[in-house]
Amino acid sequence: MTEDTDATPSPAAAAPVLVIVSGMSGSGKSVALKTLEDLGYYCVDNLPADLLPQFVRSVHNDDGAPPKLAVAIDVRNRHSDLAKIPEWLSAVGALGFDPQLVYFESSDEVLLRRYADTRRRHPLSRLGLPLADAIALERQVSRPLRQIADTVIDTSEMNVHQLRRHIITGFGLSGDNAVSLLFESFAYRHGVPADADFVFDARGLPNPHWNATLRPLSGRDAAIREYLDQQTDVGLYLSQVGAFLDTWLPRMVEDTTRSYVTVAFGCTGGRHRSVYLAERMAEHARQQGWDEVAVHHRELD
């Protein structure tokens, strides 16, 4: 991992923030935008660049306007529009926002491998170019964006989990003393997340896997949630874990200088119980007043 700036900026408290997510296709922009959405940003993907000031003005004028916006603008736009980004960023700044352009990139070798693994089409493949040529053209077209970026993040050596962590720790803070909470689900058969601060084992709870109707679903689905909500043991588990976290998370934050805490829930397959618990405890944390709460399902995302 490399960065062209000394540190990833945190959103400023004095002005509403607009993060422009840009960079190379396949470098992790979609993961970054989804993570920002989890952190409370109002996100829009593939906004026409010429509509940027109009979009910001429209959202900002609404009652209860979100203080944090994130917009993905990249080579899917008209190439002539990308050259005018500095002009539109100035217009956004005049509206009282603090615009930050974050450019994601990876090496050609890594991008070629990622496209081979996912079998997705490159945005410039519509021009009839081979993949290597499409990547080269995209790098050339987006060079002006890279040159004016506030932060350049090279994801060549990052996996999706490391990238999410990087975004959470860099953009999840709303103030000097703010802390980001990440609730993560995982499967024990694939190992415990190495960076988890708290780990809770859900394998003793009723398992929807043994219900043929519920098995294809995940803990995100309403049917799984309804099933587990009705289980007495699950209710007791949530109550006890919630009371533990309500007691010890604030003390942990007070006694350390950390900017994020990860709470992980594990079950056998990482699909039903752990996902449900991570979602429920994230909801509980938000109700308790934690502003920066994100959820990550390792075996699903």
pLDDT tens digit sequence for 14-71: 467 899 999 999 999 998 998 888 788 889 998 888 899 888 888 877 666 677 899 9
- 24 in a known ligand binding site: yes
242 annotated to a ligand binding site: no
Q: Maximum distance among all alpha carbons in the chain?
A: 60
Is 174 within any annotated ligand binding site?
Answer: no
Q: Which CATH number fits domain 2-171: 3.40.50.300, 1.10.357.10, 3.40.640.10, 3.40.50.12280?
A: 3.40.50.300
Residue 76 known to bind ligand:
yes
Q: Is residue 185 marked as binding?
A: no
Is residue 150 part of an annotated ligand binding site?
no
Q: What is the pLDDT of residues 168-198, one digit of tens each?
A: 777 754 444 467 788 999 999 999 988 899 9
Q: How much is the pTM?
A: 0.60
Residue 61 annotated as binding site: no
In the chain, where the domains are located: 2-171, 180-297
Residue 64, marked binder: no
Q: Which of 143, 165, 138 is CA-nearest to residue 8?
A: 165
Residue 148 φ/ψ, nearest 5 degrees:
-100, 5
27 is in an annotated binding site: yes
Distances (CA, A) of 227 to 156, 206, 218: 41, 9, 12
